[in-house]
Amino acid sequence: MKLGKLRLSFFLLLCFSCSQTWGQGPEDLEDNPSIQRFRDYLRIPTAHPNPDYGPAIDFLVGQANEIGLSTRTLEFVPKKPFLLMTWKGSSEQKLQSVILNSHMDVVPVEEDKWIYPPFEAHMDEEGKIFARGSQDIKALGMLYLEGLRILKAKGWTPLRDIHVVWAPDEEIGSTDGWERLYNSTEFQELDAAIVWDEGRPTPEGNYVAHPGEKALWWLVINATGESGHGSIYYENSASENMFISLNAINTFRDSQKSPVLSGEKTIAEVVAVNSAYLKSGTPTPDGGFTINVQPSVVEAGFDIRLPPVTGIAKFMDKRIAEEWAPKNRNMAFHFIERSGLTKDNEIPVSIADDSNPWWVLLRTAISKFNATLTPEIAPASTDARFARLLGITAFGIMPIEHVPFLFHADNEFMNGYEFLKGINVTVAIIDQYASFPGPLVSAL
Ligand SMILES: [Zn+2]
């Protein structure tokens, strides 16, 4: 009996603390309208494989109406809309525009790995807001809007046109997203000088900006050869030829991996080559493989990321053709994806030093917060690559400090207090960019 009572009160105690943990977070943040709007956006599920952009667009149009920005949608592919918000600049001169870009889609979730449901935007007592997209990259989109809202309220007006671009499908390669937009007359008409796109938060404080990113190649190589008995040595068998290639690829991979592991270089500075799949064998009806038959075809797929170093694509092309999949070893190759290269086979990078006024303006905005700005090549792809291919300056920056990098991670979160600080930095950057009077064109 006693024990039972004890258990009951212990249970009640647990329940009480439980409801505390699952409570609504710190009150000051809870009541903050910027935080409320951010969490509202996070609650709209736009996860692949079937993102429904409609509710996100409705929400964002509502935001634009409140702030006083004009809107229009562009639909190059059905159900894959872009939303454009515009604040007209006051300059009489024809000054090129400022683009604030973010994508609306988010990567899928494995719900059972999350401590809170990924589309509830739960806020804990430390002000952490848990949601898929809370970092990548709904936070940035909402920073733009909160920044513009403050600037409107202040009575500030931009010299240059500001366009806020909301893109679909970035997380699945942008084939129906920016790849459609950047070649369109609608985009040309925006006449962009500078594109602000996604970057990463900095756990250690201060800020980083991506002036460029690694190019993405998905390579498939095939080896063909004589099929035959498992006991015989054939000259030029498919497996033998593939093994020679795998050795060569691995040697090259080690040369790139070692300096990263030793801390000499970052992953952004080297070629990353990782095996995605190996496919071969003569299947048996029970789902296994026949062991005493040598296969006539072997196929291997690789994810390759190239740093923006002059001549790197030509260097890799030669290596693939001559060492990894040479014709004289009955090998062939093709790319499933090969993006981010100019017509001259180079990877474009925006100039991130004082010779580029757009960099100076960014640094000036950041310095108001006694912080530093460091250029860093992004290890993965973003939509900014399309702008750079057109020769438009593009920097990827997320003005958020003291938050761990959790893009695509389980339990992705944003800290609400850091988000509020980020709004002030966003205001400063937009002010610098959109107030810049120079007749300057984009400098890549
Ligand atoms: Zn992203």
Q: How close is the Cα of 120 to the center of ligand 1, in Å?
A: 20
CA angle 344–346–351, rounded 5-degree value: 120
Can you tell me the distance from the alpha carbon of 255 to that of 270, in angstroms, rounded to the nearest whole number?
Answer: 9
Q: State yes or no: pLDDT of 49 exceeds 80.
A: yes
Q: State yes or no: pLDDT of 339 exceeds 90.
A: no
* 381 in the same domain as 306: no
- Judge whether 105 counts as a catalytic residue: yes
Q: What is the pLDDT of residue 439?
A: 63
Torsion angle defined by CA atoms of residues 171, 173, 175 and 176, in that order, rounded to the nearest 10 degrees: 0
- Judge whether 376 counts as a catalytic residue: no
Residue of higher predicted confidence among 363 and 8:
363
Can you tell me the distance from the alpha carbon of 38 to that of 23, in angstroms, rounded to the nearest whole number?
Answer: 18
408 assigned ligand-binding residue: yes
191 assigned ligand-binding residue: no
204 assigned ligand-binding residue: no
Residue 125 is assigned to a structural domain of this protein: yes
Q: How close is the Cα of 7 to the center of ligand 1, in Å?
A: 48
Q: How close is the Cα of 133 to the center of ligand 1, in Å?
A: 8
Nearest CA among 21, 197, 4, 234 for reference residue 126: 21
pTM (predicted TM-score): 0.85
Q: What is the mean pLDDT of the chain?
A: 92
Q: What is the pLDDT of residue 19?
A: 39
Q: How close is the Cα of 136 to the center of ligand 1, in Å?
A: 5
Given pLDDT bands bounded at 50, 70 and 90, which one contains residue 21? Answer: very low
Q: State yes or no: pLDDT of 25 exceeds 70.
A: no
226 assigned ligand-binding residue: no
198 assigned ligand-binding residue: yes
Domain CATH for 315: 3.30.70.360
Structure tokens at 149: 């809202």
Residue 19 is assigned to a structural domain of this protein: no
Q: What is the pLDDT of residue 92?
A: 87
CB within 8 Å of 305: residues ≥ 6 apart: 214, 215, 216, 217, 271, 272, 379, 380
Residue 10 is assigned to a structural domain of this protein: no
Q: How close is the Cα of 42 to the center of ligand 1, in Å?
A: 14
* 256 in the same domain as 315: yes
| Marked catalytic residue, from 146, 170, 197, 240 | 170
Q: What is the pLDDT of residue 36?
A: 97
Residue 444 is assigned to a structural domain of this protein: no
Q: How close is the Cα of 77 to the center of ligand 1, in Å?
A: 20
* 141 in the same domain as 273: no
* 158 in the same domain as 224: no
- Interval 368-385: pLDDT, tens: 999 999 999 998 899 999
* 239 in the same domain as 203: no
Residue 362 is assigned to a structural domain of this protein: yes
Q: What is the pLDDT of residue 16?
A: 41
Residue 5 is assigned to a structural domain of this protein: no
- Interval 94-148: pLDDT, tens: 899 999 999 999 999 999 999 999 999 999 999 999 999 999 999 999 999 999 9
Given pLDDT bands bounded at 50, 70 and 90, which one contains residue 9? Answer: very low
Q: What 8-state DSSP symbol labels residue 378?
A: B
Measured in residues, the chain has a length of 444
Can you tell me the distance from the alpha carbon of 39 to that of 28, in angstroms, rounded to the nearest whole number?
Answer: 15
How large is the average pLDDT for residues 383-388? 97
H and E: helices and strands count for the chain: 12, 17
Domain CATH for 393: 3.40.630.10
User: What proportion of the chain, given as a percentage, has pLDDT over 70?
Assistant: 93
Phi-psi category of residue 79: left, alpha or beta, with phi > 0 → left and psi -120 to 50 → alpha: left
Residue 382 is assigned to a structural domain of this protein: yes
* 177 in the same domain as 32: yes
Given pLDDT bands bounded at 50, 70 and 90, which one contains residue 13? Answer: very low
Query: Domain total for the chain?
Result: 2
- Give the domain extent around 396: 25-212+348-434
Residue 13 is assigned to a structural domain of this protein: no
